[in-house]
Chain A
């Protein structure tokens, strides 16, 4: 079963606008959530994370929002830049097992000029 879901396989956004990537999870044991960016044939690069005790975390142009009651998180990128074009993965882990990440299927973001 897919415990972490990213229902949008792709997203196209104009440069300078906001990109919003969504992620849903089903496992109530998950308490730490991460977003990774990935280029083909490379390893994922960590972007931002959030603990379940928070509902928002910001780092520069990237903000992650967590809605625990809805089991939903989102990544906002403002403003979007062409270099942001990549596949974005949402991942989750349960307490004490940070190395055992459950990944979503990814969303391919295309930032156009």
Chain B
């Protein structure tokens, strides 16, 4: 069974640009969540999608958005990039994202903003 797949693996952008990251969850998993990892802040929850609807949201500005498609694949978009957006962006999937489920993470997309 294939794991969580994230593309691209690495990205370099400049300030002010926008970026789209992609995530394919494990087959059968309907909940997809996104996390940002930075050296200073650690792993922080961005948002979660289930059945094409955003179900939970973390404390990030509106420049960070996402969506989920009918096949559960998800994309995350960051607009007007800032230097501080440089981070490892991780996608995780689970069956339904409800109680007592473990999340399976992808390898992440390393974003560098210059």
Contacts and interface: CB of A to CB of B under 8 A. Distances in A.
Interface of A: 31-32, 34, 36, 41-46, 49, 51, 89, 91, 95-106
B56 A99 contact: yes
B43 A41 contact: no
Q: Give the interface centre of A44, A49, A89, A102 by most chain B CB atoms within 10 Å.
A: A44
Contacts of A44: 43, 90, 105
B42 A98 contact: no
Contacts, number: 75
B97 A98 contact: yes
A69 B99 CA distance: 21
15 contacts: A34-B102, A41-B108, A43-B92, A43-B106, A44-B43, A49-B100, A51-B100, A89-B43, A99-B50, A99-B97, A99-B101, A99-B103, A101-B35, A102-B45, A103-B43
- 6 smallest beta-carbon distances between A and B, as pairs: A43-B105, A99-B97, A103-B43, A98-B101, A99-B33, A99-B48
Interface of B: 4, 6, 31, 33, 35, 42-45, 48, 50, 55-56, 58, 88, 90, 92, 94, 97-108, 110
Contacts of B94: 98-99
B33 A100 contact: yes
A32 B4 contact: no
Contacts of B44: 103
Nearest to B48: A99
B45 A101 contact: yes
A108 to B, nearest CB: 13
